[in-house]
Structure 1
Amino acid sequence: MKRRLLMGGIAATTLAAPFIANAQAPLTLNGAVQFNDDHAFNKTLLKFEELVKQYYGKPINFVLHRNSSLGLEKQYFEYMAQGKAVDYAIVSPAHMSTFSKAAPFIDAPFLFRDLAQWNKVLDLDLLKPVAGEIAQKADVMLVGYAGGGVRNIFVNKPVSNLAEIKGLKVRVQGAPIWSKTFAAAGMSPTVIAYNEVYNAIQNNVISAGENEAAGVESMKFYEVAPNLAMTEHAITIRPVCFSGKTFKSLPKDLQDAVVRAGKEAGAYGRQVESSEDEQKLVALEKAGKLKRIPFKDRAEMKKLVDPVMAAYAKEIGADGIFTQIVATN
């Protein structure tokens, strides 16, 4: 009997040993991003890693899968929803629409007056209801908000007010809200594939397009449309996302670290991306490739578009959030 008990005890100890070792091993969190370390998204996620480690104060491993090695943002979001492969990532709101109709609204055109209002809306957490819907329906948490790329109109002729953009043939993104808002501002929007915009302007099919500085630079749109009308019609929001299933499995002190780090890393990412936007435009101007033109009727243009945005917000159940954003000074 004693021998059986002894052997049983040894067996139990042997079986338990791997579990004890595993319990003591540091956790590993896997992130994903489409770009390399020069991109603002990578810098944001590396800051997130740094802050989690700082606030958690215990051993933990991070693996950031770069350069689309785990696919694209749409896949990252699906992986996080399923609780596999990806624990954290930056994802465009457009890729969340399968789970939440309101998600793309936070990235819609003419939603914000300027960067100051955009920052305040994020600091006040006015997008919390949208984040709540995404958490409920997709089981993915929006722990912070990066972004900050400001989109303007690049044109083959100088334009600086509403009268000069009346009837302007401008390429817009495929989502209907883009065509509706640009038409409300008096332009003639058309949907053209992104990689065909350069030739379309060159061949006078259209006169303009819209993008943030990084896109204008990388696609060389300045070669066919060297005038940049500073309409600031859209400011990107790129949420720092975290898998809800992963989050629930973490110890409380690590959960707290993730939430705190997410918010701070998002703010850091906004500062990085918005400042890089300016740097790229300055460099293009100094090289004589682009000329920035102040748009005098920015406020008037937004007034024309607001009713369209209000109707869209009501249609997707985001009218309460829209009202709060409009009232934010």
Structure 2
Amino acid sequence: MLRKALAAAALVGCMVAGSGQSVLAQEYQLNVNTALTQEDPIYKGLEAFRDKVKARTEGKVEIRLFPSSQLGKDEDVLEQARAGANVAVLVDPGRLAVFVNDIGVLGGPYLADGFDQYRKITTSDLFTGWADDLNKTAGLKILSFNWWQGARHLVTQNAVTKPADLAGVRMRTPGAPVWIETIKAMGATPTPMGWTEVYPALQQNAIDAAEAQDTAVYGAKLYEVAKHLTKTGHIGLLTGLVTSGQWYDSLPADLQKIVSEEALAAGDVASKGTEDAISRVDAEMEKAGMSIDEIDVAPFKQATAGVYDKLGYGDLKKKVDAVLSGN
């Protein structure tokens, strides 16, 4: 794994070296990977991040964007970052829980209500401790963790109103334990796979369903291969911009400050864009023939309540609840 990561890092270095830029510019270039498409509001936030950093650093730090996982799967890019490559990835907490288990609680079911509450958690002292641990143990630096991609809902072929309706349904989900246990508790059979594989998998009946946020469903055109989007809101997807601790430490202090500040500011811009886009993309998907279904989510909340204790997050959830209540 390390050999592959070092090879990937070398490849990124070759890409940069081939651009004809100076050695100094190469040191201060950051290649940002995201599974999302260029049409997604989150990507617009990444563009703002790129432009603001360029302006404030007077071109000393160049941000290059790679949508649709052009640099590889999130896990692979994280390994490149751990090896010291000048890469970053917009990633969910479940994938970071591999390195610092506590971060995984952010992917738990019905943890908080909307962007403001999730942002409160990830700008708290509790989260800062997790971020410090991630840097020390895995060499990964969180630039900001306020990139709200929205609440995740069910994407199915048949109408769903209760957990029993998901019995036997093969549902795509990311491979992190908290996601898998949540989908299992909701009644479906979790089926991990990469996001870019979901459309053909639904089209070819390799899976029966998926779960994702509105803008991602729209961006991936899943409304062409699935009939229902059911508003369960079972997981709030707040993601983080994560880079190499080694690369970040190579920056002068003034440039570190700018990169971190603009990552936080851009995350807020992207999150506002996401919230503004939801009603628009829902209307577009309905126009294309997908049914957008509002249901009573109480049965799903009840079904997933035990996930925290099952994964050893029971006490940690109490700490998160204290952050949200201001205690």
Q: Residue 229 and residue 325 in structure 1: after superposition, are their counterparts in 2 closer, same or farther (change >3 A)?
A: farther
Question: Per-residue deviation at 1:163?
Answer: 7.5
Q: Deviations over 1:294-325 (max 9, x none)?
A: 112x245324422222331438x845554446
CA distance in 2, matches of 1:290, 1:199: 18
* Structure 1: gaps spanning 5 or more residues: 1-21
Inter-partner Cα distance in structure 2 for 1:182 and 1:27 = 42
2:214 aligns to what?
Answer: 213
Aligned-partner Cα distance in 1 for 2:144–2:106: 13
Please give the residue correspondences for 1:183-262 in structure 2 after superposition, counting only pairs within 5 Å: 183-185=184-186, 187-191=187-191, 194=198, 195-200=200-205, 206=208, 208-217=209-218, 221-222=222-223, 225-262=226-263
Amino acid at match of 2:308: M
Instruction: Work out whether 1:281 is the aligned partner of 2:286.
Output: no
Distance, in Å, in 1 between the alignment partners of 2:70 and 2:226 is 34
RMSD of equivalent CA atoms: 3.7
- The alpha-carbon deviation at position 40 of structure 1 amounts to 3.8
The offset of 1:183, in angstroms, is: 4.5
Structure-1 residue corresponding to 2:9: none
234-243 or 172-181, larger mean C-alpha shift: 172-181
Distance 1:325 1:299, change over 3 A: farther
Counterparts of residues 42-57 of structure 1 (less than 5 Å):
42-56=43-57
Question: Is the Cα contact below 8 Å between 2:157 and 2:226 reproduced in 1?
Answer: yes
1:13 maps to none
Q: Report the alpha carbon displacement of residue 97 of structure 1 after superposing the two structures with TM.
A: 4.3
- 2:125 and 2:269 map into 1 onto residues whose CA distance is 16
Deviation at 1:190, TM superposition (A): 4.6
Offset at 1:230? 0.8
2:316 pairs with 1:311: no
* 1:112-134 C-alpha deviation (Å, 9 max, x unpaired): 34445334434546533332221
Task: Name the residue aligned to 1:128.
Answer: 128
SS in 1 for 2:101: coil
Question: Which residue in the other structure is 2:100 paired with?
Answer: 100
Amino acid across the alignment from 1:310 = D
Provide the C-alpha distance between the structure 2 equivalents of 1:150 and 1:248, rounded to a whole number of angstroms. Answer: 34
What's the offset of the Cα at 1:180? 3.4
- Provide the aligned length of Structure 1 versus Structure 2: 297
CA deviation after TM superposition for structure 1 residue 229, in Å: 1.7
Could you tell me whether the CA contact under 8 Å between 2:91 and 2:240 is conserved in 1?
yes
Cα displacement (A) at 1:27: 6.5
1:153 Cα deviation after fit? 1.4
Cross-structure match for 1:74: 75
Task: Give the secondary-structure state (helix, strand or coil) at the position aligned to 1:30.
Answer: strand
Partner of 1:155: 156
TM-score, L = length of structure 1: 0.72
Unaligned 5+ runs, structure 2: 1-21
User: 1:310·1:322 contact (CA, 8 Å) conserved in 2?
Assistant: no
- Distance (whole Å) between structure 2 residues aligned to residue 314 and residue 326 of structure 1: 16
> In the TM superposition, what is the alpha-carbon distance from 1:24 to its structure 2 partner?
9.1
Secondary structure in structure 1 of the residue aligned to 2:305: helix
Partner SS state of residue 127, structure 1: helix
- Deviations 1:40-96 (CA, angstroms, capped at 9, x unpaired): 44422322233334555x45240405255543432332232222232x442333443
The 8 Å contact of residues 147 and 273 in structure 1, kept in 2 or not, is answered as yes
Q: Is the 8 A contact 1:181 1:309 kept in 2?
A: no
Matched to 1:306, the amino acid is: A
Of the two, which has the highest radius of gyration?
1
Are residues 77 and 155 of structure 1, via their aligned partners in 2, closer, same or farther at CA, if it must alter by over 3 Å? closer
1:181-226 deviation line (CA, Å, top 9, x unaligned): 34444x243537644334449xxx85x4422334544665445642
Q: Pick closer, same or farther for the CA change 1:295–1:243 going to 2, 3 Å.
A: same
CA distance in 2, matches of 1:133, 1:212: 29
**Which one-letter code corresponds to 1:293 in the other structure?**
D
Could you tell me which amino acid in structure 2 is paired with residue 191 of structure 1? T
Partners of 1:214 and 1:150 lie apart in 2 by: 10
Instruction: State percent identity of aligned pairs.
Output: 21
The residue number in structure 1 matching 2:301 is: 302
Distance in 2 (alpha carbons) for counterparts of 1:127 and 1:308: 21
| Alignment partner, residue 33 of structure 1 | 33
